[in-house]
């Protein structure tokens, strides 16, 4: 999926805002209902790379009637972004049941609009730590019932996930996907790979084998749930 980036710069030299817009076109819409349908009200959701999923995923979490009044989401993430602000302001995010830095939103970096930067400015609820801390699976697993949401560029039928290259061409860094997948599985919780089933051009992102030269970001031994617009595929312990 092609992305468009917009930057703006505050003349005071203090603020740099960033907005990423996903081109829609013929790209199928990921079903957010599928991603949140098997999240129980007793689960504690810790997000990672949710910015790479459509904003409707967050909206679907907010719309769950059975979660009304439930302090569900606790944020321990690599990236803090605009989409999480409404959940914080709506009282859904409190962090009261976190074992690692309770009552705090923990992240490594923030990227988004001016509203985001003003939200985190001098906000005692938001703590930034280095990636060696936030992405440490030994730290992540200390929180109870972690649900980690990550995205992918391609997945094959054995469950191998490629999230950082398109064939042999590097698209992004590896990031903390494997850290959060592993941490969530050990918490024990629900590691989720969420992605549309096809690219904007109509090419399937689910293939028999990964493209030649594609990297394996998350191994088939670590993948639990894959979510597309068609629903949820539980892959854990399934034969290759």
pLDDT at 26: 44
What is the band of 72 on the pLDDT scale with cuts at 50, 70, 90?
A: low
88-147 pLDDT tens trace: 887 777 777 788 898 899 999 988 899 999 999 999 999 999 999 999 999 999 988 888
Considering only residues 61 and 202, tell me which one the structure prediction assigns the higher pLDDT: 202
Q: What is the mean pLDDT of the chain?
A: 77
pLDDT at 190: 86
pTM over 0.85: no
If you average pLDDT over each of 11-20, 130-139, 229-238, which comes out highest? 130-139
Helices (H), the chain: 32-37, 56-63, 85-89, 114-120, 131-134, 137-140, 177-186
Q: Which residues pair with 228 in a beta bridge?
A: 231
What is the band of 151 on the pLDDT scale with cuts at 50, 70, 90?
A: confident
Q: Report d(CA 162, CA 143) in Å as an integer.
A: 27
Name which of 229, 203, 155, 195 is nearest 49 in CA terms.
195
pLDDT at 37: 55
List the single range of 65-69, 76-80, 85-89 with lowest mean pLDDT.
65-69
Residues marked active site are found at 78
* CATH code of the domain made up of 3-234: 3.40.1080.20
- Contact assessment for residue 53 and residue 79, using Cβ atoms and an 8 Å cutoff: no
List the single range of 127-136, 155-164, 224-233 with lowest mean pLDDT.
224-233
Name which of 229, 238, 171 is nearest 204 in CA terms.
229
What is the band of 51 on the pLDDT scale with cuts at 50, 70, 90?
A: very low
**CB atoms < 10 A from the CB of 166, how many?**
16
Q: Where are the domains of the chain?
A: 3-234
pLDDT at 11: 42
């Amino acid at each position: 999926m092609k992305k468009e980036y917009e930057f703006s710069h505050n003349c005071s030299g203090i603020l740099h805002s960033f907005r990423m817009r996903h081109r829609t076109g013929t790209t199928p819409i990921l079903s957010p209902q599928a991603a949140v349908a098997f999240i129980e009200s007793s689960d504690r959701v810790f997000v990672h790379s949710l910015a790479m999923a459509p904003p409707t995923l967050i909206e679907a979490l907010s719309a769950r009637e059975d979660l009304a009044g439930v302090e569900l989401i606790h944020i321990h993430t690599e990236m803090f972004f605009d989409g999480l602000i409404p959940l914080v302001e709506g009282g859904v995010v409190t962090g009261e049941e976190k074992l690692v830095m309770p009552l705090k939103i923990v992240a490594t970096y923030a990227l988004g609009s001016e509203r985001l930067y003003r939200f985190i400015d001098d906000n005692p609820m938001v703590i930034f730590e280095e990636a060696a801390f936030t992405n440490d699976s030994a730290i992540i697993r200390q929180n109870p019932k972690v649900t980690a949401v990550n995205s992918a560029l391609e997945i094959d039928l054995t469950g191998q996930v490629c999230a950082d290259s398109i064939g042999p061409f590097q698209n992004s860094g590896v990031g903390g996907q494997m850290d959060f997948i592993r941490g969530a599985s050990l918490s024990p919780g629900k590691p989720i790979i969420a992605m549309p089933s096809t690219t904007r051009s109509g090419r399937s992102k689910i293939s028999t084998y990964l493209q030649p030269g594609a990297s394996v970001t998350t191994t088939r031994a670590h993948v639990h749930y894959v979510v597309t617009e068609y629903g949820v595929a539980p892959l854990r312990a399934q034969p290759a």
